[in-house]
Structure 1
Amino acid sequence: MQALTLDKLLSYRNDISIPDVAAGGALIKLRLAGICATDLELVQGYAGFSGILGHEFVGTVIAVNDDKHRDWLNRRVVGSINIGCNSCEVCRSDGPEHCLNRKVLGIRGKDGVFADYFSLPVTNLYAVPDAVPDQAAVFTEPLAAALRVVKQIASLPITEVAVVGPGRLGMLIAKVLSLIGYRVTVLGRSTSSLALPKQWQLATGLTTEIPDNCFDCVVDASGQAAGFAQALRIVKPRGTLVLKSTFAANAALDLSKVVVYEINIIGSRCGPFADALTLLAQNKLPVETMIDGQYPLSEGLAAFAHAAQAGVRKILLQSAKLPADCPVETG
């Protein structure tokens, strides 16, 4: 099968074996996958991952390991990305997201979805409602991550939020917060980067023009150390800073303000897939307007180059349509 693999360098290959399906697992045929900022950072060396990249997807289940999961066959699905050990106290009490022994799809110890076929445990799968087209369903994972912010700040006395970074994830975070009722301002480095947030009817501004210490809550979704520095600069004393960015750079950061002004820092990662699918089915987020290109897997290197360009939001990858009688072998 085809796949985009990372072994220090990103490569396209068409000689990768179709994965075996472990007990409790499903084999999934890719329909669409999204390239996200984390994928771009992994190529730059973040987390030291090697293997098949990719974790944002919509696909079709074509095989399962045991008969009790046969009702998943031929269903259109998305899937959560964390695979816990299922035996530690963290897994038993909180779930797999913070299991110290977890695997993470396309990020940590588990081949990802930039391939014709990939596998996931059935417990990670969510059926996609008929009302949600593929080009919207592929946004389920980042939308779930955006909804995680909503849950994390819900109990705090916050009414106004700045989102630093008008990119893929920043847009979703800003929109879901605005739908909940927060007053949201999307901040970017250029006026051109703010055109789509304005189209989404979100308030906008240039980060460099925002005075120091003026927002109760700031979400950093910039994906850059410089974005974090700006987010810290504009958060009020005793305010809340939510961190959504992961990046490969080892930049020096001045954290003295965190101490002196008692800034509350919240790390934020994965969120609720079921809620994300419900929101997509309600058609309240124009996610498809973020798509800037769609490539077959065979042009995956060009797709990554496109995704890495400044101002580009979502680039999608599409598996080749194989003949209906193409044999699929599972272990």
Structure 2
Amino acid sequence: MRALLLEGGLTYRTDVPEPLLGAGEALIRLNLAGICATDLQLLNGYVGFSGVPGHEFVGVVAAVNEDKHRHWLGRRVVGSINIGCNHCETCMNQGPEHCLRRTVLGIRGKNGVFADYFSLPVDNLHVIPDDVSDREAVFTEPLAAALRVVEQLRSRPFGAVAVLGPGRLGLLIAKVLSLAGYQVTVLGRSEAALVLPRQWQLATALVAEVPDNGHDCVVDATGTPSGFAQALRILRPLGTLILKSTFSAQETIDLSKIVVAEIHVLGSRCGSFADALAVLRQKTVAVEELIDGCHALQDGLLAFEQASRRGVRKILLQPD
């Protein structure tokens, strides 16, 4: 089958074997996939992944290996990306997201979705409602990740939140926080980067003009060490930093303010797909406005090059 393969560098291949199904898995035919910041970081050596990358997808179930799952055949689906061992205490009590033996679709020990076909456990799948298009549904995973921030802040008394990084994920985070009642300011490096946030009726500011020590809560969605440093700069002592960035960095990062100012650091990762699909059905987040291009799988190298350009938001891949 055709696939993008990461082995030292990224290549387009036509000779990659179709995945063999494990117990409880489904074979899924790709309809549409999205390139995210984590995919770009994998090319820079993040977590040392090799194989087929990609984890944001819309697909159709083409095969299952157990009769009890035949009702999934032909269903249009998205799927959560963490696959736990299903035996440890973490899996039993909290779910697979923090299982120490987990694999992660297209990121850790599990081939991903930038291919004609890929596999996932049926338990990870969610049927896409008929009134949600493929171009909307491909945002389920990043929208779920954005909603995770809302969930984590529910018990915290912040009325105002700054979101640093008006890119693919940062805009989704800012919008769902705004819908949840927070006063949100989107911070970017250029006026051009702030055009779409303003169209979404979000307050904006240039991060370089934001004074030091002025915010109680900052979400870093930049995916860069420099963004992390800016987030620390603008936080008040005893403030809360929510890290939504994963990056492979070679440069030194100064963490002294976390200690001296007693900054609370909160990591944030995956969220509920069911909640994300519900938001997509409500049409309250104009996700399709984030799409800056769509390429055939065979043009995947060009798609990655475009996705890596500054100011480009969501680039999609499709089989043909």
Please tell me the TM-score bracket, short chain as reference: over 0.9
* Matching residue of 2:40: 40
* Distance in 1 between residues matched to 2:23 and 2:254, nearest whole Å: 48
Deviations, residues 141-170 of structure 1 (Å, cap 9, x unaligned):
000000110111110110000000000000
Secondary structure class of the residue paired with 1:29: strand
* Matching residue of 2:238: 238
* Distance in 2 between residues matched to 1:194 and 1:176, nearest whole Å: 17
Q: Percent identity?
A: 67
Secondary structure class of the residue paired with 2:41: helix
Secondary structure class of the residue paired with 1:50: coil
Secondary structure class of the residue paired with 1:205: strand
- The amino acid across from 1:55 in the alignment is H
* Matching residue of 1:114: 114
Deviation at 1:8, TM superposition (A): 0.8
* Matching residue of 2:140: 140
* Matching residue of 1:92: 92
* Distance in 2 between residues matched to 1:65 and 1:194, nearest whole Å: 48
* Distance in 2 between residues matched to 1:71 and 1:92, nearest whole Å: 26
* Distance in 2 between residues matched to 1:103 and 1:188, nearest whole Å: 34
Secondary structure class of the residue paired with 1:269: coil
* Matching residue of 1:326: none
- The amino acid across from 1:84 in the alignment is G
| Structure 1 runs not aligned, ≥5 long | 321-331
* Matching residue of 2:313: 313
Deviations, residues 182-229 of structure 1 (Å, cap 9, x unaligned):
000000000001111111111111001001111111000000000001
Deviation at 1:251, TM superposition (A): 2.5
Correspondence 1:190-201 to 2 at 5 A: 190-201=190-201
TM-score, structure 1 length as denominator? Answer: 0.96
* Distance in 1 between residues matched to 2:261 and 2:40, nearest whole Å: 34
Correspondence 1:1-331 to 2 at 5 A: 1-320=1-320
Deviations, residues 257-291 of structure 1 (Å, cap 9, x unaligned):
11122111000000110000000010000000010
Deviation at 1:89, TM superposition (A): 1.2
TM-score, structure 2 length as denominator? Answer: 0.99
* Distance in 2 between residues matched to 1:210 and 1:71, nearest whole Å: 54
* Distance in 1 between residues matched to 2:104 and 2:123, nearest whole Å: 14
- The amino acid across from 1:195 in the alignment is V
Secondary structure class of the residue paired with 1:171: helix
* Distance in 2 between residues matched to 1:39 and 1:293, nearest whole Å: 16
Which segment drifts farther, 17-26 or 129-138?
A: 17-26
| Structure 2 runs not aligned, ≥5 long | none
Deviations, residues 19-49 of structure 1 (Å, cap 9, x unaligned):
1111111000000000000000001111100
State the superposition RMSD in angstroms: 0.7
- The amino acid across from 2:179 in the alignment is L
* Distance in 2 between residues matched to 1:250 and 1:265, nearest whole Å: 21
* Distance in 2 between residues matched to 1:188 and 1:56, nearest whole Å: 25
- The amino acid across from 1:27 in the alignment is L
* Distance in 1 between residues matched to 2:53 and 2:191, nearest whole Å: 32
Deviations, residues 272-317 of structure 1 (Å, cap 9, x unaligned):
1000000001000000001000001010011011101110000000
- The amino acid across from 1:303 in the alignment is A
Which segment drifts farther, 27-36 or 230-239?
A: 230-239
Q: Which contiguous aligned blocks of 4+ residues in structure 1 show a shift greater than 6 angstroms?
A: none
- The amino acid across from 1:223 in the alignment is G
* Distance in 2 between residues matched to 1:210 and 1:128, nearest whole Å: 41
* Distance in 1 between residues matched to 2:238 and 2:59, nearest whole Å: 44
Count of aligned positions = 320
Deviation at 1:55, TM superposition (A): 0.2
* Distance in 2 between residues matched to 1:32 and 1:20, nearest whole Å: 21
Deviations, residues 217-267 of structure 1 (Å, cap 9, x unaligned):
100000000000100111111111000001111321222211122111000
* Distance in 1 between residues matched to 2:46 and 2:154, nearest whole Å: 31
* Distance in 2 between residues matched to 1:16 and 1:256, nearest whole Å: 47
* Distance in 1 between residues matched to 2:157 and 2:131, nearest whole Å: 36
Which segment drifts farther, 255-264 or 293-302?
A: 255-264
* Distance in 2 between residues matched to 1:273 and 1:232, nearest whole Å: 30
